[in-house]
Structure 1
Amino acid sequence: MGKRFSAQFFFILILSLNPVSSSHQLTLRMSGQPLMSETGPVKLECQSNKHGFMDFGVFWFRQRKATKSPESILFLSPTSKSTYSDTSDYRHFKASKGTTTFSLEIDPFGEKDQGIYYCMINKNSILYISPGISLYYPAVTTPEPTTTTVSRTRDPELGDPKDCSPTASSSENGFLGIPCDVFIWGPLMGLCCGLLLALTITAILLCKGTRRRHCRCKHVPLKEKPAAQTQRPCRLA
Structure 2
Amino acid sequence: MDRSPALLLLLALGLCCPGIHGQSLEMKVRSPKDITQLRVGQRLELECQTDKNSGAFWIHQDKSGTLHFIVFISSVSWTTFSRDQRTSPRFEASKHNSIYLLVVKSFTPQDEGNYFCMMNFNQMLFFSPGQPAFLPGTAVPGGPSLFSIPADRRMQEDLEYFCLIFLWVPLAGLCLLLLQLLANTIVLCRHKAHHNPL
Please state which band the TM-score falls in when normalised by the shorter chain. Answer: 0.5 to 0.7
> Post-superposition shift, 1:90?
4.3
Q: 1:36 to 1:15 in 2, by over 3 A?
A: farther
Q: For residue 221 of structure 1, what is the aligned residue in structure 2?
A: none
Report runs of 4+ in structure 1 exceeding 6 Å deviation.
none
Q: For residue 123 of structure 1, what is the aligned residue in structure 2?
A: 121
Alignment of 1:96-111 (within 5 A): 96-111=94-109
User: Structure 2 CA distance, aligned partners of 1:135 and 1:40?
Assistant: 12
Please state if 1:40 is matched with 2:39: no
- Give the helix-richer structure, 1 or 2: 2
Q: In structure 1, give the amino acid aligned to 2:133.
A: L
What's the C-alpha RMSD, in Å, of the aligned pairs?
A: 2.8
Q: For residue 227 of structure 1, what is the aligned residue in structure 2?
A: none
Alignment of 1:114-193 (within 5 A): 114-139=112-137
Q: 1:28 to 1:127 in 2, by over 3 A?
A: same
User: Structure 2 CA distance, aligned partners of 1:101 and 1:76?
Assistant: 10
Counterpart secondary structure, 2:102: strand
Tell me if the contact between 2:17 and 2:125 (Cα under 8 Å) persists in the aligned partners: no
User: Structure 2 CA distance, aligned partners of 1:131 and 1:74?
Assistant: 17
**Unaligned stretches of 5+ residues in structure 2:** 1-14, 140-198
Q: In structure 1, give the amino acid aligned to 2:78.
A: K
User: Structure 2 CA distance, aligned partners of 1:80 and 1:22?
Assistant: 24
> Post-superposition shift, 1:16?
5.7
Q: 1:15 to 1:131 in 2, by over 3 A?
A: farther
Query: TM-score, normalising length from structure 1?
Result: 0.46
Q: For residue 195 of structure 2, what is the aligned residue in structure 1?
A: none
**Unaligned stretches of 5+ residues in structure 1:** 1-13, 142-237
Decide which of 60, 70, 73 is 2:70's aligned counterpart.
Answer: 73
Q: For residue 189 of structure 1, what is the aligned residue in structure 2?
A: none
Tell me if the contact between 2:40 and 2:106 (Cα under 8 Å) persists in the aligned partners: no
Q: 1:62 to 1:140 in 2, by over 3 A?
A: closer
Tell me if the contact between 2:16 and 2:123 (Cα under 8 Å) persists in the aligned partners: no
Deviation per CA, 1:197-236: give whole Å up to 9, x if none: xxxxxxxxxxxxxxxxxxxxxxxxxxxxxxxxxxxxxxxx
User: Structure 1 CA distance, aligned partners of 2:16 and 2:133?
Assistant: 23
Deviation per CA, 1:39-84: give whole Å up to 9, x if none: 1111001112xx3x1x211000111112x33111111112211111
Q: For residue 170 of structure 2, what is the aligned residue in structure 1?
A: none
Q: Percentage identity across aligned positions?
A: 29
Tell me if the contact between 2:42 and 2:105 (Cα under 8 Å) persists in the aligned partners: yes
Q: For residue 182 of structure 2, what is the aligned residue in structure 1?
A: none
Tell me if the contact between 1:19 and 1:126 (Cα under 8 Å) persists in the aligned partners: yes
Q: 1:65 to 1:15 in 2, by over 3 A?
A: farther
Q: 1:119 to 1:140 in 2, by over 3 A?
A: closer
Tell me if the contact between 1:56 and 1:121 (Cα under 8 Å) persists in the aligned partners: yes
Pairs aligned (count): 123
Query: TM-score, normalising length from structure 2?
Result: 0.54
Tell me if the contact between 1:23 and 1:130 (Cα under 8 Å) persists in the aligned partners: yes
Decide which of 58, 61, 71 is 2:59's aligned counterpart.
Answer: 61
Q: In structure 1, give the amino acid aligned to 2:48.
A: C
